[in-house]
Amino acid sequence: MALLKSFCSNIFSNFISTATGIRNLALIISNDYWLIFVLIILCTCSTSIDGAFFLNDPLLSSTSFHDEKRIESSRITATQRIIREKAKTFGQTAEEIQKVKYYLEKIRKFEAKQHPEEAVQRYTAKRSTAVGTEIAKFERRQKDNIVLNPEENGRYYEGDIVLDAEQAYQIYESTIQHGRRIKRKFIRSELRRWDSHKPIVYSFDGSHTRREQRVIELALEHWQNITCLNFERRNDEIQENRIIFTDIDGCASNVGRHPLGEPQFVSLAPECIRLGVIAHEVAHALGFWHEQSRPDRDNYVTVRWENIDRDSKGQFLKELPVDVDNGNVPYDYGSIMHYRSKAFGRYDDLFTLNTNIMDYQKTIGQRDQLSFNDIRLMNVIYCSDSCPRKLPCQRGGYTDPRRCGRCRCPDGFTGKLCQLVMPGFGADCGGRIELTSSWRRITSPNYPREFKEGQECSWLLVAPPGQRVQLRFYGEFEMYCKVRHSLCMDYIEIRNSTDFANTGMRYCCYGTPKSSIMSATEDMLVLFRSFYRGGKGFQAQVRALPISALNIRRNRSANELNANLNEYATT
């Protein structure tokens, strides 16, 4: 046994000590290397790793998860126990909770009348109605949602928003009177904004382990590093407005600061302990609503009411343009606050949100990182007076409120004024390419062999004055995605609009995209990002195209489309 332990120690130090260890295990199983896998299982049983596969990960301790929970719970103070009891209702009285429930039930019934269930029944009449099938689909959806978007499984408004009675009444009144609600991407009331000139105080109610607390604090540090906001942990008696982290009820938060200065709660259960999900809930606490509720939503996405679960139609209301504060930041498909394509669906394979431009479909719903526009809006709201002068930032950048002598740049750019293309990471790739009418080739690292996890490339494609950039994929294509969720995990992103600050179209999964993509200006930005695993990657052809040729192609495409529609109408 001692020899086996020594052997296993070497295996684990060389094989599972990196962040790719679990993925390597999956690869071993998929390739039927069963003998190696048996050895690894034996090693697991004969070494004292207590379930901690990522041995070099500082977030994991030597104790098991349940042991750590037990140890931490034994250290909860009397004050923390009182706070935990208050957290069960998010600090609300029984009367206030009843008011919120009353208004939300009124909204639910109103929306059910606006979008009758018959439409769903007609749409799903051809589908299997077997009870066992529906239950299996529901269980699969719940399982996957916990991994990707756990906040959707909450029992609160839009899944994870804990309303107070005043907010619930405002939404009810505007919904009943106007058929839509008065709310915004960012809450406008000054009473609900935090004072950016003072640290935002936070504490824990004792329900999180030390490693969970560290992940939460990493998310707070991320918000702090990219804005002018500061966060300060205090373990003293609670006497002022602060954020208290608990695990009492899934992923949930109030929106904005408590107007009376009372403590407020952010619930982060174990399934919510991911940096992206935590950043999402903290954004609610700082004042963010969900992206797809903006008043200009219909210009970007179409709600498929017939596909939405019967009791969830009130989750897709949108704002009125009155008193809206979006900070002049455009709609962002890549916002961490955006619903995914199949959120609150009646069935797990039905789209509830369709992007109006089809190639953005796999962009919405990500919970990996804050988008550039998420950060920009927070800085517009809280940090507009942080720097004495504004820099002439390029490529959609803006003066960094943390470092007033530099610009904060969109992904793909760097330099003091965002004038440079971001160099490749983990590979020699990317850069600025001056195009001509001849085709050029760009590929993922090591193509057609597999690229490695963590590699990044950024290309700025530049056409001559008066021309546009054309890109088309060809050959084999493979980038990791969640197929059933229609969501990219690794991706090629193409920014071809007039503003490189906006998240672009993301391409992933398996099978070469058929789109031929044109830039709106003389520039196009192409981003290759591999966060999760390696794969075959992509290759594409790029060239410059005169606007005259582009117009001919557009007219031809329009004529072909009309012909196809006419043919369809006559069949």
Write out the H or E segment, with its range, that includes residue 545. Answer: strand 539-546
Alpha-carbon distance of 315 to 305, in angstroms, equals 11
Two structure tokens written together for 185: 């991407």
User: Are 354 and 304 a contacting pair, CB within 8 Å?
Assistant: yes
Is residue 290 part of an annotated ligand binding site? yes
Is residue 338 part of an annotated ligand binding site? no
Catalytic residue, chosen from 152, 158, 212, 281, is: 281
Residue found under tokens 């301790």: 61
Two structure tokens written together for 293: 């509720």
Helices 2-11 and 34-46: crossing angle, nearest 10°? 110
Query: What residue type is 552 in one-letter code?
Result: I
Q: How far is CA 443 from the centre of its chain?
A: 26
Burial of 492 (0-12, 13-18, 19+ CB in 10 A): buried
Cα R_g (the chain), whole angstroms: 25
Strand order in the sheet with 200-204: 231-233, 200-204, 243-246, 264-268, 251-253
Two structure tokens written together for 285: 């606490």
- DSSP character for 330? P
In angstroms, the Cα distances linking 214 to 69, 111, 263 are 14, 41, 21
Helices (H), 62-209: 65-73, 78-87, 94-114, 117-123, 131-148, 165-178
Q: What is the DSSP string of 382-406?
A: H-TTSSSS-----TT-EE-SS-TTS
CA atoms within 13 A on the CB side of 490: 25
Q: Is 476 a catalytic residue?
A: no
Two structure tokens written together for 539: 């290759």
Binding-site sequence positions: 280, 284, 290
Binding-site sequence positions for Zn(2+): 280, 284, 290
Q: Which residues are the active-site residues?
A: 281
